[in-house]
């Protein structure tokens, strides 16, 4: 893959420490020619949002909005890549938007919208389809997992998913992307696409006068797109299935017992945690003791993330206890954190006109920004308009 992850170009972003959710003054170095820091992320409307989506992504979105310009997107174009026909795609789109707002995202200060409202995502994705190489896409583990054994029969959209994801971010020239650990490879690819575009069009970018001086590896170049910084770290970068501690918690897992949905009520949460797979040992007194015990590690990690503590702190409280003691405490904590979000989501979903108005307004504001970037891209590529 082109020059890959070499030569990280970093941008200043405040309000987010790589190691967790607590504010920091300056995440990364800056220089005079830096891109303006901008946070972008998205969630697919492909089913019930779960605790993994919340802890791995949405809660970071909320923390980042305190000190940064943020754009949060319901990525509905992505939703048809793995499954073309959905029973209620509009309802799913609204429910993701409701989850953003119920979790605390301010759609007035920031932008909340659905991807299909801004056609520039698809336009830039086409350009990126011509920048990216088929071999890069074939290596994506998410494609391999989702396509399964019958790869020839997967949609072309599923293969090109990471190219659209790069376009989602770069159509705003966003610099930082909070995601769960499963999206790391896609963000590395977004960097590769940006880097290849910057290098291939270097002279045209200079001629258009819209670029930024950047150093890639040792080499100074004049680029148009930032090399995005993933914001993955945090207490729960990958929440695992409650039924199998080696598998990611996922909306598309056929077993509802594998995940805690944001819309689950207290009884359901208690039932799912009580039935969560564990091993016969009690909890260890230190983090080292979680090694080789994926289910125990996952439950302790979930507790730590919900309580905003370290795993070591959780084990200093529960070390030596049986799961019969730990599981009810975990269920109580999960209900305590999630219940206000669930009830606000329900309230918002009762008034879809309010959500639709938020998405419409966000779509208009996003489109204005994306249009400006796409005008520059058209100039750089050389399309006649
Ligand atoms: N288990 C997880 N732990 C931590 N973060 C997670 N995310 C997803 N699962 C976990 C993060 O949630 C954000 C939104 O994900 P998405 O819906 O856009 O796509 P996904 O990663 O494919 O999520 P799912 O739940 O597994 O959906 P399906 O089953 O439809 O594929 C992303 O930032 C993701 O990292």
- pLDDT tens by residue, 107-129: 999 999 999 999 999 999 999 99
Q: Rounded distance, CA 326 to CA 273, Å?
A: 10
Best CA proximity match to 177, nearest among 379, 16, 364? 16
Tell whether 345 and 367 lie within a shared domain: no
Could you tell me the maximum CA-CA distance found in the chain, to the nearest angstrom? 70
What is the C-alpha to C-alpha distance for residues 304 and 302, in angstroms, rounded to an integer? 5
- 219-223 and 70-74 as β-strands: parallel, antiparallel, unpaired? unpaired
Structure tokens at 153: 């029969």
- Whose Cα sits closest to atom 26 in ligand 1? 250
271 is catalytic: no
Residue with tokens 């071999």: 135
pLDDT of residue 13: 59
CATH number of the structural domain spanning residue 285? 1.10.240.10
Name the pTM for this structure: 0.91
Pair 207, 120 in one domain = yes
Which band of pLDDT confidence, cut at 50, 70 and 90, is reported for residue 296? very high
Stretch among 154-158, 218-222, 301-305 having the lowest mean pLDDT: 218-222
Hey, what are 372's tokens? 């400006």
Q: Is 311 a catalytic residue?
A: no
Each residue of 244-278: pLDDT tens digit? 999 999 998 999 999 999 999 999 999 999 999 99
pLDDT score recorded for residue 385: 85
Give the pLDDT score at 11: 56
Same domain flag for 202 and 185: yes
What total number of domains does the chain contain? 2
Q: What are phi and psi of 82, to 5 degrees?
A: -95, -30
Choose one of 42, 55, 56 to mutate for the ligand 1 pocket test, by most ligand atoms within 8 angstroms of C-beta: 56
Report residue 303's pLDDT band, with 50, 70 and 90 as the boundaries. Answer: very high
The residue that leads in pLDDT, 219 or 314, is 314
Residue 24 included in any domain: no
List, chain by chain if needed, residues with CB within 6 Å of any ligand 1 atom.
43-44, 46-47, 52-53, 56-57, 179-180, 182-183, 238-239, 248-252
User: What percentage of residues in the chain have a pLDDT greater than 90?
Assistant: 86
Its domain, for residue 283, covers 256-349
Q: Going by CA atoms, what residue is nearest to atom 12 of ligand 1?
A: 53
Tokens 């015990």 locate to 293
Confidence at residue 28, expressed as pLDDT on a 0 to 100 scale: 33
In the chain, pLDDT over 70 holds for what percent of residues? 91
Between 143 and 20, whose confidence is greater?
Answer: 143
User: Do 217 and 227 belong together in one domain?
Assistant: yes
Taking the centre of ligand 1 as the mean of its atom positions, its distance from the CA of residue 211, in whole angstroms, is: 33
Which has the closest alpha carbon to 244: 271, 269, 270, 278?
A: 278
Residues 284 and 168 reside in one and the same domain? no
Query: Is 100 within 8 Å of 64 (Cβ atoms)?
Result: no
User: What residue's CA is closest to ligand 1, atom 33?
Assistant: 179
Q: Please check whether residue 118 lies inside any domain of the structure.
A: yes
End-to-end CA distance of the chain: 33
Pair (338, 200) in one structural domain: no
Same structural domain for residues 45 and 180?
Answer: yes
193 shares its domain with 130? yes
If asked whether residues 114 and 49 sit together in one domain, one would say yes
CB atoms within 10 A of CB 89: 17
Specify whether 175 is located in the same domain as 286: no
In the reported structure, the alpha carbon of residue 53 is separated from the centroid of ligand 1 by a whole-number distance in angstroms of 5
Query: Is 10 one of the catalytic residues?
Result: no
Q: What is the pLDDT of residue 21?
A: 39
* pLDDT of 29 higher than 60: no
27, pLDDT greater than 50: no
Phi, psi dihedral angles at 101 (to 5 degrees): -70, -40
Phi, psi of 219 (to 5 degrees): -95, 125
Same structural domain, 74 and 196:
yes
pLDDT beyond 50 at 176 = yes
């Amino acid at each position: 893959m082109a020059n890959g992850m070499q030569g990280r170009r970093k941008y200043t972003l405040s309000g987010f420490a790589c190691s967790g959710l607590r504010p920091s003054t300056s995440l990364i170095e800056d220089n005079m020619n830096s891109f303006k820091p901008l946070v972008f992320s998205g969630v697919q409307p492909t089913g019930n949002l779960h605790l993994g989506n919340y802890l791995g992504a949405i809660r970071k979105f909320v923390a980042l909005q305190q000190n940064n310009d943020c754009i949060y997107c319901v990525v509905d174009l992505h939703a048809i890549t793995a499954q073309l026909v959905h029973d209620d795609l509009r309802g799913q789109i609204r429910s993701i938007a409701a989850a953003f707002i119920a979790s605390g995202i301010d759609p007035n200060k920031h932008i909340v919208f659905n991807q299909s409202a801004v056609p520039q995502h698809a336009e830039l994705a086409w350009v990126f389809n011509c920048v990216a190489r088929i071999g890069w896409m074939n290596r994506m583990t998410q494609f391999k997992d989702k396509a399964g054994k019958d790869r020839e029969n997967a949609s072309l959209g599923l293969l090109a998913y990471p190219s659209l994801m790069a376009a989602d971010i770069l159509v705003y020239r966003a610099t930082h992307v909070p995601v769960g650990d499963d999206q790391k490879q896609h963000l590395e690819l977004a960097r590769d696409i940006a880097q290849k575009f910057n290098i291939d069009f270097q002279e045209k970018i200079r001629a258009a006068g819209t670029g930024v001086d950047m150093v890639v590896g040792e080499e100074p170049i004049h680029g148009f797109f930032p090399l995005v910084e993933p914001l993955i770290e945090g207490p729960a970068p990958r929440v695992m299935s409650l039924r199998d501690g080696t598998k990611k918690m996922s909306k598309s897992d056929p077993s509802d017992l594998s995940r805690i949905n944001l819309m689950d009520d207290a009884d359901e949460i208690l039932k799912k945690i009580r039935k969560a797979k564990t091993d016969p040992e009690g909890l260890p007194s230190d983090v080292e003791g979680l090694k080789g015990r994926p289910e125990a590690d996952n439950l302790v990690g979930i507790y730590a993330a919900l309580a905003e503590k370290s795993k070591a702190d959780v084990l200093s409280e529960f070390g030596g206890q049986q799961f019969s003691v730990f599981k009810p405490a975990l269920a109580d904590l999960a209900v305590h954190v999630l219940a206000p979000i669930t009830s606000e989501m329900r309230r918002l979903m009762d008034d879809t006109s309010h959500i639709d108005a938020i998405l419409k307004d966000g779509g208009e504001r996003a489109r204005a920004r994306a249009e400006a970037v796409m005008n520059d891209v058209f100039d750089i590529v050389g399309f006649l308009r």
